[in-house]
Structure 1
């Protein structure tokens, strides 16, 4: 072999090795770019913005109604409703309680149910898979997008509630359920903790929506099925005959954030809720993976 041939072969081998060494950073950069593009597209979408605005309107409506009405009788209406006139920070807490059973699951169902089925319905799923995304990476990015909305949705309710409450009512020290009094800054932190609790509560439902989204090319069907399951889970959780099933329902701990309004904070419900949601993520994430990697993508 001539010297020039040896140099050529060495250069070719070096290029291949450097290509392999650089493939991992390129894949990571590609994944970050893909995720950033997905998040940008999600939150620029008019439907997503409309859902967040609708959630933010819940505390605004509560505050305006309370402001224009006479005194609310104690024990009537949602929890803490009768305390709003005394302290505007209770608007956010009351709005989160109102949003938990229907409005938050509804918006999560819309977003999660659209993850894969929406791309298939618009005919863009095949092109995403042709790009160097891969089915597993696409599935992960879509779920992370749904998780990002799970963060934004309760946060929109809490922040809008704090803002409108401060604008229409006095703000001062807050008496917790344990009888302790905390300053407004600490009370706002507690409200954000409740929003974080609701984010964790919705992660299992998002995983269910992702799985259902892999079963159909019609996003409305996946959305509706996700919302129906959230309602069914809450109904089953109210039946005493199924008490043995209650701890396994993904909605069982949705209202378990009362411990965050005590001094000191109790984390038992938060931990139990997180473990339950992690189980749903594992099960329905695996089901979504099994379905999606073997799915014939025609559109």
Structure 2
């Protein structure tokens, strides 16, 4: 082989190596760029959500629940045993229970209402304001946008439950004596462990609302009128609880997304029963999967650019 042919062979091999390296680099960069873009879009969505006056108004309304309960019990001097919401009669003996009592009040209506507003507005709100087409041209990608909107709604679920439990604990700390927490099983645990249990309750309720968030997101893809999706989501939460309270429809109860909403009491036993947490997560995951798939199917075929 002549020196010219050898040089040509070497050059071709070097070009091939560079091409392979470039192809490998592009292959690595694409997922990284997509992940970076998703995180940036999520950060913008969270910033938008938590800088809206409406969001803070809803969190403020949730915050009023433990405040009003604490003040009412403080003025009235307690509650008769067995009357009123669960844990209400334990507040005067231990103020840490204000947050848990407030949670039992917030779960049936107030938390679902705020989740309905947040999830129902996710896509319909953008469409009504004329910003949806620009988000998709950006390009955000339809599936990526849906995922980001859902994660923002999930973040609000956690923010809402933490607002009720944390603020309720602080209110109880200020208005009533605090001490070791007496669990439903009759055992006492230190204050620190009790606070961790209450945070676990907040996490449990946040997970409980994930299925409702998926339903709201799907309904939000069906309309350009946000109030319709918001109302429908909230009404479905109420209807599901009504169905769950009818003994004759007991066969349907395990399939309702609200069926395990109040089972967080199992976390207040000794030892804590985590089976309810797992079963609730599985139930909500099924709703997220079904209604997330429906939302994607609807949204990817929807004409939003005309």
Structure 1 match to 2:83: 76
Structure 2 match to 1:214: 221
Structure 2 match to 1:31: 38
Cα distance between partner residues in 1 of 2:20 and 2:179: 71
Which residue of the other structure, out of 72, 89, 99, is the alignment partner of 2:106? 99
Deviation at 1:195, TM superposition (A): 0.7
- The unaligned stretches of length 5 or more in structure 1 are 2-6
Which residue of the other structure, out of 164, 169, 184, is the alignment partner of 2:171? 164
Cα distance between partner residues in 1 of 2:155 and 2:28: 32
Structure 2 match to 1:155: 162
Cα distance between partner residues in 2 of 1:250 and 1:206: 11
Cα distance between partner residues in 2 of 1:143 and 1:251: 19
Matches within 5 A, 1:274-289: 274-289=281-296
Cα distance between partner residues in 2 of 1:24 and 1:240: 51
Structure 1 match to 2:194: 187
TM-score normalized with structure 1 length: 0.94
Deviation at 1:160, TM superposition (A): 0.5
Cα distance between partner residues in 1 of 2:26 and 2:231: 46
Structure 2 match to 1:110: 117
CA RMSD of aligned residues (A): 2.2
Show structure 1 runs of 4+ deviating over 4 A: 7-21
- The unaligned stretches of length 5 or more in structure 2 are 1-7, 9-13
C-alpha distance 172-216 of structure 1, shift in aligned 2 (>3 A): same
Cα distance between partner residues in 1 of 2:208 and 2:254: 13
Structure 2 match to 1:89: 96
Cα distance between partner residues in 1 of 2:63 and 2:156: 14
C-alpha distance 20-179 of structure 1, shift in aligned 2 (>3 A): closer
Structure 2 match to 1:124: 131
Structure 2 match to 1:46: 53
Cα distance between partner residues in 2 of 1:198 and 1:12: 53
Cα distance between partner residues in 2 of 1:220 and 1:116: 12
Cα distance between partner residues in 2 of 1:68 and 1:14: 74
